[in-house]
Amino acid sequence: MFGGMQDYELRVPRLIDHAEREHGGREIVSYWADGTTTRTSWAGIARDARKLAQALEKLRVKRGDRVATLAMNHSRHLVAWYGAIGMGGVIHTINPRLFDEQLVYIANHAEDKVLLYDKVFQPIVDRLRTQWTSIEHYVCFDDRQFEEMIAREDGNYAWVEGPEREPCMLCYTSGTTGNPKGVLYEHRSSVIHALTEISPACFDLSTSSVALPIVPMFHAAAWGLPFASAIAGLKLVYSAVNDPTVLCTLMNEEKVTHSAGVPTVWLAMFQYMDATGKKPEHLKIVTIGGSAAPRAMIERLMRMGIRVGHAWGMTETSPIGTIGSPPAHWDELDFDAQVDLVCKQGRVPFGVELRVVNDDDEVQPRDGVSSGRLQIRGPWVIKRYFQDAAGDCIDRDAWFDTGDVAVLHPCGTMQITDRSKDVIKSGGEWISSVELENAAVGCAGVAEAAAIGVRHPKWDERPLLLVVRKEGSEVTADDIQTHLANHVAKWWLPDEILFVESLPHTATGKLLKTALREQYRDHQLATATAPPLAQA
Ligand code: AMP
């Protein structure tokens, strides 16, 4: 009696089928660690993925089994994603920059069956092989092992079908404290997330785009780009090396229009540009996320005529939570106001919802002032960590607490003010460590800065600023204080500025504040003589 629509499970292999059928000739370029470049296409990736699926079945990988990778960005890694997922497996991308202890924990916890790895990570494999208890097969992503293995197959293979709610990918959070936790993505969540990503309000991808994702394939599902790129049928350019000379040269040779990466990537690129006078000539859109993009970076890219998409997300959110794009009144804003807007973390795409709650769990108004814990829900947001006995990690209404502190503006724009554990609590008021750091790196001569709360007898905590000078710079603490005074409230000014050679980072390039707090927690108690600035 009633009409209706077709059964069509939203499964990841449909993405590669589409790319092969509709954009089969569009190129996938890889720059390898040995300095060579190879070219394949979406059709080539699809063909090799089917062969890999056959090879994995011969290795007795079964539906739901985890197939791990320890690898940089290149076409074979992309083949591994689609091949492992296409045969019903779960691709588990391991971050090679983690400590040995974490690498052992993660692979054992995931019960990985096969490990595909880059030759550069052979030392890790040799070192940890005896401690990895579940891995039965090791395959190096080189010509001999990987290419010979798939060359033995005929590629005559039909993808495994099944429900869209089956898992397809596993990523562990970097975890600055405790053991890393696994986030299990599903076919459906990955497909919906990727469909959203190509829209103009997100990454703005289409078949005419040429994308060079600098974000590693082992970090937060490579921001979903391997999936979104297949939907768009764009040309992909991968580099297994994160060197600004290589990246800038590739961007110009391949006419790259879109790129995405964490802020540190662009810092290195700017240094290269300053030293050589070269620049990426064809870039139109750069997406920055993973940590707050400093104002000076956003401004410089925008002055080059590049649209900057400032994105916020986490492994637990697939990872896109918010992303900035020009609003309706963009052209009416002057340049400074445009930069101000891009410094905030953008808006939610359809699918996810945000709210901010205070310490009593009361929902805060979207007034651009009230800050609190940022919570999120939606079809690509985590419900429960992989194999976690603690149960679901969301509340009754499905809200997931992100651990970030944020403000929501009336227009829906979200602004991260801090990580809840990094906020500096001074005299009952909150000081944003992120804002202090961003203001500090805007001072000439400052390469990197970390603001942490250190114990104080009267104010509970006061800010201490650790600064790495740019090479050759002689910037002083007074210079930085004067600069900061123009950007933050007086009582936010750090009680002390210490110069250090370098700052510790997590495996995904974020400042490792826990280590800094441990080292400096009692610094002020030990050294402070002068009373802190009055809180006004
Ligand atoms: P990860 O799961 O390793 O990607 O880390 C997620 C965390 O990175 C978030 O909870 C934020 O604290 C931080 N983060 C990501 N993007 C941004 C951004 N644009 N601005 C500030 N913090 C960010």
| CATH code for the part of the protein at 422-519 | 3.30.300.30
Q: Is 310 in the pocket of ligand 1 (CB under 6 A)?
A: yes
Q: Which of 62, 425, 458, 490 is catalytic?
A: 425
Contacts of 528 (CB under 8 A, 6+ apart): 456, 495
pLDDT digits (tens, 9 = 90+) for 467-481: 999 989 999 999 999
Nearest to 83 by CA among 73, 75, 95, 94: 75
Neighbour-count burial of 18, counting CB atoms closer than 10 A to its CB (0-12 exposed, 13-18 middle, 19+ buried): middle
Contacts of 125 (CB under 8 A, 6+ apart): 70, 115, 117, 138
Lowest mean pLDDT across 238-247, 407-416, 520-529: 520-529
Q: Confidence class of residue 458 from pLDDT cuts 50, 70 and 90?
A: confident
Instruction: In whole angstroms, give the CA distance from residue 342 to residue 457.
Output: 38
Q: Of all atoms in ligand 1, which is nearest to the CA of residue 416?
A: 21
Domain with CATH 3.40.50.12780 in the chain: 13-408
Please, which contacts does 131-135 make with residues 24 or more away whose CB atoms are closer than 8 Å?
A: 131/104, 132/104, 132/107, 132/108, 133/108, 134/107, 134/108, 134/110, 135/68, 135/107
**Residue % of the chain over a pLDDT of 70:** 97
pLDDT digits (tens, 9 = 90+) for 398-423: 999 999 999 999 999 999 998 888 88
Instruction: In whole angstroms, give the CA distance from residue 151 to residue 101.
Output: 35
Mean pLDDT of the chain: 94
| pLDDT in the model for residue 12 | 98
| pLDDT in the model for residue 489 | 83
Name the token pair of 197.
Answer: 């990503």
pLDDT digits (tens, 9 = 90+) for 151-205: 999 999 999 999 999 999 999 986 556 788 999 999 999 999 999 999 999 999 9
Phi and psi at residue 89, to the nearest 5°: -85, 180
Q: Of all atoms in ligand 1, which is nearest to the CA of residue 220?
A: 4
Calculate how far, in angstroms, residue 480's C-alpha sits from the geometric centre of ligand 1. 26
Name the token pair of 330.
Answer: 């963009």
Lowest mean pLDDT across 134-143, 192-201, 213-222, 484-493: 484-493
Confirm whether 362 is a catalytic residue. Answer: no
Q: Is 95 in the pocket of ligand 1 (CB under 6 A)?
A: no
Helix, strand, coil percentages in the chain from 3-state DSSP, rounded to 5: 35, 25, 45
Domain with CATH 3.30.300.30 in the chain: 422-519
Q: Of all atoms in ligand 1, which is nearest to the CA of residue 434?
A: 21
Q: Confidence class of residue 536 from pLDDT cuts 50, 70 and 90?
A: very low
132 DSSP β-pair partners: none
| CATH code for the part of the protein at 13-408 | 3.40.50.12780
Calculate how far, in angstroms, residue 313's C-alpha sits from the geometric centre of ligand 1. 5
Confirm whether 425 is a catalytic residue. Answer: yes
3-state secondary structure 410-430: CCCCEEEEEECCCCEEECCEE
| pLDDT in the model for residue 176 | 56
Q: Is 314 in the pocket of ligand 1 (CB under 6 A)?
A: yes
Instruction: In whole angstroms, give the CA distance from residue 197 to residue 222.
Output: 12
Q: Is 291 in the pocket of ligand 1 (CB under 6 A)?
A: yes
Calculate how far, in angstroms, residue 291's C-alpha sits from the geometric centre of ligand 1. 5
